[in-house]
Amino acid sequence: MTLAVAATVGALFALGTFLLLRDDLVKVVWGLAIISQAANVYLIGMGGIVEGTSETVPVLATHHAPFPETVDPVVQALVLTAIVISFGMTAFALTLSYRAYQENESINVTEWKQ
Amino acid sequence: MTSWIAIAPVLVAIVTGTVALLVRNWPRLQRAIAVSGTVVYAAVVGYLSWRVVFAADAGGILYQLGGLEAPFGIVLVADELSAFMLAITAIVAVYAVVFSVQFIDEQNQRVYYYPLFQFLLLGATGATLTGDLFNLFVWFEVMLMASYVFVAFYGNAQHTAAAVRYVVLNIVGSALMLLGIGGLYATTGTLNMADMAVQLSAPGAVTEPVVGLSALVFVTFSLKAGLAPFQFWVPSAYRAAPLPIVAVFAGATKKVGIYAIIRLYFTVFGDADVSATVPAVAGDTALAFLAPALLLMGLASILVGGFGAVSRDSLEELLAYSSIGQIGFIAVAVGIAAATTAGELRHLGIFAALIFALHHAVSKGLLFLSTGVIQDIAGTTKLSELGGLGDRSPVFASVFLVGGLSLVGIPPLAGFFGKLFVFDAATRQFAAATGDTTATAAAVLTLGVLFLGAVLTILYATRAWIETFWGSQSEAIRAGVVHDGQIAVLATLALVVLAIGVGFEPVYQFADAASDAALDTDGYIEIVGLGGETG
């Protein structure tokens, strides 16, 4: 499981970095969104994905083993916050991109005169 | 000591911002609320500073959100260092908002200007007060969100282009910060900064990853502070944003980056035994790894900023580059503090950085707002189209002169003490390095660049002064209207710059207490209420 998370994080960062370096502003915004998500998946990995016990998850005390592998609840809270923030950022970046496209008359950032 | 007063500045900003949003259809009411809200904010910060630093039973104040104790709940910690940064922010904010009322035209004021201003203030305040690493990230985002909108505020080609670059850069920075925070959580098992300090100094703690992870967070902080090589967003963003906001950017939000570096490295990582094998750097604390990087970045900033400022042709850009250089002075002082192991010099380094930060906030704030006045009079800030303003308004000329001289470091203005202590720290570093060739070379290089930076400051400050105020009146200056109200506001700010220099004693006391607090890890843990458990 850890390996899968690590591979996903790597792939997402690679894709995000690739898109971030494009000329097309829309692709750059895609890159930002993907990098933000990569950071979120990384946070999940950092919390560790382990089998729950009644020590860490009190509600499991009344249930029977085997328990599924779960993610640390603290990082879940962090990721939830980070998702909301990156959602807002992406929405803002898209709006800003549209206005920048209108004003600079090109979606290609290398053609901007400013 | 737990008290609601630690959260009061945050509450004032959030309430003022929200109310200003609700009354947006009544511009006059909105203006009155924004200004009085900021004044209340300053008053609350003043009271908080008094309680933390100057009162008989002075000491750090804790506020537990939701009454949950650290390390489980999020805490706000108002210690001397936080109070000092808040005081800087409050001074700049009050002047910026009062100046905005007269400077930003009616139509633009109605476009959510005041609510955004309050949210910018809110972000900076929260980031300074929080005692939780992830919460720091969230406050940074609050601050950034408002600053994005301000960079794009005028919405033309130049502004949107600057905003796009600024946004892209900062979102990447935020992702890096998340990586650092996630890693630190995995290493120490906590997000509370005081608890992190406890865990790191606990015997047998695994600390190697901290070196790399803190570097990720450091990159984000220096991006916010605009240190070279992360300075390239500064000129275009400063040129695009409304000038009163630029004063807040330069005075307050950049300083939050410096504050975060000091807080995290000196207070949280300070004592911990962190060893890792890094080529060319020897050391067993996080500070030893920070020192060379921060010193080099600070020196590079001084050079980039100084040479950049000398060669610009508009006043705004000149000041933007100057800001990069001046932040370099602060970073060098912090770097000196990180490099040494002697307690006294470390204290002096932090102290110098704080005094310089205060000086830069008020002096540069004054100069940026003055640029606003010039923009209003002449309709341009291009140096080639200015000249002879001294004849038009001698009072304004003397206000600008105070700002310029303070930047140069002429006594008895605020800038004199800033420069004095930075050079003091650098010469003491040189004195302490006797016998060690590498250390001596580094100290000589530091002193040399600081000196060059000071000369460049004199050069560009003089150039700005001569080309704007001397000579025959240019077309733009002759035709322009001088707004006495704006100048009156700035005159009082010039008095503040003077007052900080003349009545330096309480400022000294405040900054001294703040640098004590920055270095006192145990004291910080004590305030948060984690003392004596595991540490």
What does the pLDDT look like over B6-25, one tens digit per residue? 999 999 999 999 999 999 89
> What is the DSSP annotation of B404-464?
HHHHHT-TTSHHHHHHHHHHHHHHHHHHHTTT-HHHHHHHHHHHHHHHHHHHHHHHHHHHH
Handedness of CA A36, B175, B319, B400 (dihedral sign): positive
A32 touches chain B (CB under 8 A): yes
Residue written as token pair 């309709």? B379
Contact B168 A112 (CB under 8 A): no
CA distance A62 to chain B (A): 25
Contact A97 B161 (CB under 8 A): no
CB atoms within 10 A of CB B510: 21
B156 to chain A: nearest residue by CA?
A103
Verify whether the Cβ–Cβ distance B186 to A28 is below 8 Å: no
CB atoms within 10 A of CB B499: 16
Q: Cα separation of B318 and B499, whole Å?
A: 26
Instruction: Name B382's bridge partners.
Output: B314
Fold of A2-106: Helix Hairpins (1.10.287)
The rounded distance, in Å, linking the Cα atoms of B67 and B71 is 12
Q: How far apart are CA B480 and CA A114, in angstroms?
A: 28
Distance separating alpha carbons of residues A10 and A21, to the nearest angstrom = 17
**What are the pLDDT tens digits along chain B (535 aa)?**
678 899 999 999 999 999 999 998 999 999 999 999 999 999 999 999 999 999 988 889 999 998 888 888 899 999 999 999 999 999 999 999 999 999 998 888 887 999 999 999 999 999 999 999 999 999 999 999 999 999 999 999 999 999 999 999 999 999 999 999 999 999 998 999 999 999 988 888 888 888 889 999 999 999 999 998 999 999 999 999 999 999 999 999 999 999 999 999 999 998 677 777 776 676 778 888 899 999 999 999 999 999 999 999 999 999 999 999 999 999 999 999 999 888 899 999 999 999 999 999 999 999 999 999 999 999 999 999 998 899 889 999 999 999 999 999 998 899 999 999 999 999 999 999 888 888 899 999 999 999 999 999 999 999 999 999 998 888 888 888 888 999 999 999 999 999 999 999 999 999 999 999 999 999 999 999 887 654 3
Dihedral angle at the C-alpha atoms of B436, B439, B440, B441, nearest 10 degrees?
Answer: 120
**How far is it, in rounded angstroms, from Cα A24 to Cα A110?**
9
Whether the CB of B185 is below 8 Å from some CB of chain A: the reply is: yes
For B430, what's the count of Cα atoms within 13 Å in the CB-facing half-sphere?
Answer: 14
If we measure between CA atoms, which residue out of B35, B207, B234, B33 comes closest to residue B151?
B234
Please check whether residue B141 touches A, CB under 8 A. Answer: yes
Give the residue on B whose Cα is nearest the Cα of A102.
B157
Instruction: Characterize A94-109 residue by residue with b for buried, 16 or more Cβ atoms within 10 angstroms of its Cβ, and e for exposed.
Output: bebbebbbebbeebeb
Query: Of B281, B278, B299, B10, which Cα lies nearest the Cα of B139?
Result: B10
Q: Which of B132, B143, B167, B219 to mutate to test the interface with A (most CBs of A within 10 A)?
A: B167
List A residues 40-59 in contact with B (Cβ-Cβ < 8 A): 40, 42-43, 46-48
Q: Cis omega before residue B412 (within 30°)?
A: yes
| Of B134, B155, B158, Cβ closest to residue A78 | B134
Q: Is B393 helix (H, G, I), strand (E, B) or coil?
A: coil
Q: Does B191 sit within 8 Å of A74, measured CB to CB?
A: yes
Structure tokens at B184: 């630190």
Looking at the partner chain, which of A28, A39, A113 has a beta carbon nearest the beta carbon of B168? A28
Residue B192, token pair as written in the block: 């509370």
Question: In sequence order, which ranges of B67-112 are alpha helices (DSSP H)?
Answer: 80-103, 106-109
Contact status of B163 with chain A (Cβ, < 8 Å): yes
Greatest alpha-carbon pair distance for chain A in Å reads 66
Residue B416: CA atoms inside 13 Å, Cβ hemisphere, count?
Answer: 14
Indicate which of A24, A25, A46 best probes the interface with B, i.e. most B CBs within 10 Å of its own CB. A46
Alpha carbons within 13 angstroms on the beta-carbon side of residue A32 total 28
Q: How far apart are CA B383 and CA B377, in angstroms?
A: 13
A44 to chain B: closest CA residue:
B182
CA distance B179 to chain A (A): 6
**Which residues face B414 on adjacent strands?**
none
- List CB contacts of B272: < 8 A, sequence separation 6 or more: B197, B200, B201, B205, B207, B210, B285, B286
What's the burial of B257, exposed, middle or buried (CB within 10 Å: 0-12/13-18/19+)? buried
Q: In this complex, do A35 and B163 lie within 8 Å of one another by their Cβ atoms?
A: no
| DSSP alpha helix (H) spans, B189-285 | 193-201, 208-225, 233-240, 243-248, 254-261
Where do the structural domains in chain A lie, given as residue ranges?
2-106
Parse chain B into domains and list their residue ranges.
Answer: 4-525
Q: Is A87 on the interface with B (CB under 8 A)?
A: no
Within 8 A by CB and 6+ apart from B34, the residues are B16, B20, B97, B114, B117, B118
The half-sphere exposure of B260 on its side-chain side, counting CA atoms within 13 A, is 31
Contact at 8 Å (CB) between B345 and B432? yes
User: Largest Cα–Cα distance in chain B?
Assistant: 73
Query: Do A89 and B171 lie within an 8 Å CB cutoff?
Result: yes
Report pLDDT digits (tens) over B31-63. Answer: 999 999 999 999 999 999 999 999 988 889 999
Cα–Cα distances in angstroms (integers) from residue A71 to residues A53, A57, B53, in the given order: 12, 11, 43
Name the one residue in this structure whose structure tokens are 């004291």: B523
Tell me what ipTM this predicted complex has.
0.93
Structure tokens at B124: 């900076």
- Residue of chain A minimizing CA distance to B145: A89
Chain A residues whose beta carbon lies within 8 Å of the beta carbon of residue B134? 78, 81
Pull the structure tokens for residue A38: 């990569």
Per CB-CB distance under 8 Å, the chain A contacts of B216 are: none
What pTM does this model have? Answer: 0.95
User: Which of B158, B174, B181 lies closest to A114 in CB terms?
Assistant: B158
